[in-house]
Amino acid sequence: MESNQLLQIAQEFGSPVYVYDAEKIATQYHRLTNAFSKVEKLRINYAVKALSNVSILKLFKQLGSGLDTVSIQEVQLGLHAGFDPQNIIYTPNGVSMDEIEQVAALGVQINIDNLSILEQFGAKHPKTPVCIRINPHVMAGGNSNISVGHIDSKFGISIHQLPHILRIVENTGMHINGIHMHTGSDILDIEVFLYAAEILFDTAKHFKELDFIDFGSGFKVPYKKGDIETNVEELGKKLTRRFLAFEKEYGRELTLAFEPGKFLVSEAGYFLAKVNVVKQTTSTVFAGIDTGFNHLIRPMFYGSEHYIENISHPKGKERFYSVVGYICETDTFATNRRIAEIKEGDILSFRNAGAYCFSMSSNYNSRYKPAEILWKDGKAQLIRQRETFEDLLKNQIEIDL
Ligand SMILES: *Cc1c(COP(=O)(O)O)cnc(C)c1O
């Protein structure tokens, strides 16, 4: 999107505000489907937790996507947005047997990631098809917080426990219709991904009635200049070849599934905030903006570097800034960042604000959650209004004291 379009949105709807570019979402979706165009049955299940606004879910429905969900509430949002239950997969971690049964009863594909629930569920509901989440123990990323495939991860059933899985399946007579992996949020290397895929193919051979193999996600998108990005076109070529060969060997038609969140929505998002104060100290110049980690926690939580530009004065001379929030706690978005000279009242735009931004926001410091805007066909439409004071009080019960 152009800076002047974003600036107009900030003027019309106020700040802080999230803006999502529908066209960019569609472009990313089609990049992925094009990369795997030789696969007969391809399923993209958008990971709802990245950005769960119902209008965004409806956009994905229009594109032909399914959904990947991690809670029964995300399932309900998907159903509310008009998705058929059979186009939703539910991949929770550490949730109760009770919730899994409720989701299965809705007709949603369930994906189980521990032996205890697998055994309980299989014994009780042998007819309900179940997908199994495998942990292939592959370190896909550099940061152990986001590489969930490694040995200490809480996610998935260890590949080393395959004999136990097979025993449970045999004893319960349950129907395993899918095999799944999700090795974390940052696949740095296609070869690492393909290596994990081989483990999944080997595992798949042990199950005779599979309908799909789900390769999860972990596609990387660039946050700043020079960042690497998963080459989905190259991955498409290499994995398609392997998948088609495996399908032949397996002797049954299979769906190839992915469940990206970040890849589909990260770059489509912009977060706009106003500079309340420019504060010079003995060591730096702070630009204090009208938001904080209550609205955008990624820089503080994950150390993410979101590119920031001054869209009010984009042509100004660049200076070094520390961009900080208004939360009464250290909440630094950027340090020593070169940004076109900032004046109080300027609007700063954060890039890559589509994934894990609004969906991780909170009311800390009793601030309202921001508004969300969908930019589609050259029009800005409000898809979530800014909260009001009523929202802060909504569920509070004021007792007599
Ligand atoms: C979060 C999550 C995803 C999406 O990951 P991205 O890095 O956003 O693509 C996919 N699958 C599962 C099971 C997840 O928990």
Angle at 166 between CA 165 and CA 169, to 5 degrees: 90
Q: Please state the domain count of the chain.
A: 2
Q: List, for residues 166-211, the tens digit of each pLDDT value.
A: 999 999 999 999 999 997 655 667 888 888 899 999 999 999 999 9
Residue 349 CA neighbour count, 13 Å, CB half: 26
Q: List, for residues 46-74, the tens digit of each pLDDT value.
A: 999 999 999 999 999 999 999 999 999 99
Domain that includes residue 216, residue range: 36-265
* pLDDT at residue 150, as a whole number: 62
* pLDDT at residue 205, as a whole number: 97
Is 261 a pocket residue for ligand 1 (Cβ < 6 Å)? yes
State how far the Cα of 350 lies from the Cα of 272, in Å rounded to an integer. Answer: 6
State how far the Cα of 196 lies from the Cα of 184, in Å rounded to an integer. Answer: 12
Average pLDDT score, the chain:
94
* pLDDT at residue 244, as a whole number: 98
Q: List, for residues 41-50, the tens digit of each pLDDT value.
A: 999 999 999 9
* pLDDT at residue 266, as a whole number: 98
What confidence tier does 130 reach under pLDDT thresholds 50, 70, 90?
very high
Given a cut of 50, whether residue 144 has pLDDT beyond it is no
Distance 298 CA to ligand 1 centre (A): 16
* pLDDT at residue 151, as a whole number: 67
Clarify whether residues 152 and 261 are in a common domain: yes
| H/E element, 359 | none
Residue 328 a catalytic site member: yes
Q: Which of 98, 163, 209, 328 is catalytic?
A: 328
Percentage of the chain beyond pLDDT 70 is 95
Is 47 a pocket residue for ligand 1 (Cβ < 6 Å)? yes
Is 360 a pocket residue for ligand 1 (Cβ < 6 Å)? no
Clarify whether residues 261 and 274 are in a common domain: no
Clarify whether residues 223 and 125 are in a common domain: yes
* pLDDT at residue 153, as a whole number: 78
Q: Does 350 fall in a domain?
A: yes
Q: Does 51 fall in a domain?
A: yes
Clarify whether residues 162 and 275 are in a common domain: no
Residue 220 gets which letter from DSSP? -
Mean pLDDT over 87-107 rounds to 97
pTM equals: 0.95
Q: Does 390 fall in a domain?
A: no
Is 269 a pocket residue for ligand 1 (Cβ < 6 Å)? no
Residue 390 gets which letter from DSSP? H
For residues 222 and 231, is the Cβ–Cβ distance under 8 A?
A: no
Distance 331 CA to ligand 1 centre (A): 26
